[in-house]
Structure 1
Amino acid sequence: MSHNDPAKIVVEIRQRFQEKGTDMYAGEAISQTEHALQAAFAAEQAGESAELIVAALLHDIGHLLHKHDEDCVTQGIDDLHERIGAQWLVRYFPKDVTEPIRLHVAAKRYRCATDAEYASRLSPASVLSLQLQGGPFDSAEQMEFEHSPWSQEALRLRNWDEAAKVPDFETPELEYFLTYVQRVLQQQTPDTDE
């Protein structure tokens, strides 16, 4: 299946970062690419699987795919980047990558509902996006999130996401983390039911 050629997918991901990765990460003092690299580096430092390292690298790829301005949050627009990103990635990657990405905003809403200390540490930009994303979960939403088989991975991804906002923080280059992307893609067996 040529559309699942790992080399072509890596090229497309690299292109997304080249085109929009230098945009500022909404309301923070770093770029989208720096944010992605810091999150992936944190996952790697934590000894996570290649799939979760890739999820950390690509968790905000929806920001690089949508057509909104990078400051759309300040315009009152929830870009639904977690859904856009997961939908785009699900064509190529296993659920070990795509589900934590799809749930990383839900993980923020869950943490804000269940951990006041966490909520108090959110950056101003994250507080603003939280409002647009629906605010902290109610008890029914909390329970639904807890029953997801991917909730723990999504919560770990959320921690790396929150920590990955440090200006001038040294990480390996994008090419280094794209080797993880390549590895995960090569482990995929082509779907025969497409």
Structure 2
Amino acid sequence: MAHTPAETLATIRRLFLDRGHAEYGGEAVSQLQHALQAAHLARQSGAEPSLIAAALLHDIGHLLHDLPEDAAEQGIDDHHEGLAGRWLAQHFGPAVVDPVRLHVAAKRYLCAVEPSYRDQLSPPSQLSLQLQGGPMSAEEVERFRASPHHEAAVSLRRWDDEAKDPNASVPDFDTYLPVLEAALISADAPRADP
């Protein structure tokens, strides 16, 4: 199912503008506000464009499924990172896809290697942590560190944790269209493993 870059960008934009006003999992921001804040934090930190794109798109899985906004409160792990990774792999390479796919694992990783990290998580994030498997085991930590994009995933995780300010003023979605367009892969480029 080949799409032109313009069609892919239009689909992503429509997802965020049509569905992004939903609550972000019990936080005081919407899905769109959260995505824009994460991308802004990535850009402010001097991240590569592919990682800025990953920061913007990291929770797109929440916009792709039809589960209720309070799925975590109902004890449901929506596996949004896997859904996002599979969908994004149709359009982007590993530098975008892998940090998105690994951002939940990065939370579990940080809880295992930085004991104080867990205490800094918001209540909704602590709830989802339990649904997602809790802190990693030593074996899981080693597997996570073996991923070539694990450091990018950890950076993305930290922006994810910070991107929950209901009063933040950040650039709008269209500001990031050139970043997304530059990150798109051509039809003949190698694709990420979904």
**TM-score normalized by structure 1?**
0.95
Match of 2:37 in 1: 38
- Local SS of the residue matching 1:145: helix
CA distance in 2, matches of 1:159, 1:123: 12
Aligned residues, how many?
191
CA distance in 1, matches of 2:135, 2:110: 8
**C-alpha displacement of 1:3:** 2.1
CA distance in 2, matches of 1:193, 1:132: 33
Match of 1:135 in 2: 134
CA distance in 2, matches of 1:69, 1:159: 25
**Residue identity (%):** 47
* Superposed counterparts of 1:17-96, under 5 Å: 17-96=16-95
1:165 aligned to 2:164?
Answer: yes
1:191 aligned to 2:185?
Answer: no
Name the aligned partner's letter for residue 111 of structure 1.
L
Contact 2:107 2:157 in 1 (8 A): yes
Q: Which moved more, 1:79-88 or 1:175-184?
A: 175-184
CA distance in 1, matches of 2:139, 2:182: 38
CA distance in 2, matches of 1:184, 1:151: 19
CA distance in 1, matches of 2:140, 2:131: 16
CA distance in 2, matches of 1:28, 1:79: 16
Match of 2:15 in 1: 16
CA distance in 2, matches of 1:178, 1:105: 25
Change in Cα spacing, 1:182 to 1:118, as seen in structure 2 (3 Å) is same
* Superposed counterparts of 1:89-128, under 5 Å: 89-128=88-127
RMSD: 1.4
Contact 2:2 2:187 in 1 (8 A): no
**C-alpha displacement of 1:193:** 8.5
CA distance in 2, matches of 1:5, 1:49: 23
Name the aligned partner's letter for residue 29 of structure 2.
I
Name the aligned partner's letter for residue 100 of structure 2.
I
**C-alpha displacement of 1:167:** 0.8
CA distance in 2, matches of 1:25, 1:93: 24
- Local SS of the residue matching 1:28: coil
Contact 2:108 2:129 in 1 (8 A): yes
CA distance in 2, matches of 1:74, 1:45: 33
**C-alpha displacement of 1:20:** 1.3
CA distance in 2, matches of 1:193, 1:136: 33
Contact 2:81 2:103 in 1 (8 A): yes
Uncovered stretches (5+) of structure 2, i.e. residues with no partner:
none
**C-alpha displacement of 1:135:** 0.5
Uncovered stretches (5+) of structure 1, i.e. residues with no partner:
none
**C-alpha displacement of 1:192:** 7.2
Per-residue Cα deviation, 1:33-85 (whole angstroms, up to 9, x for no partner):
00000000000011111100000000000000011011100000000000000
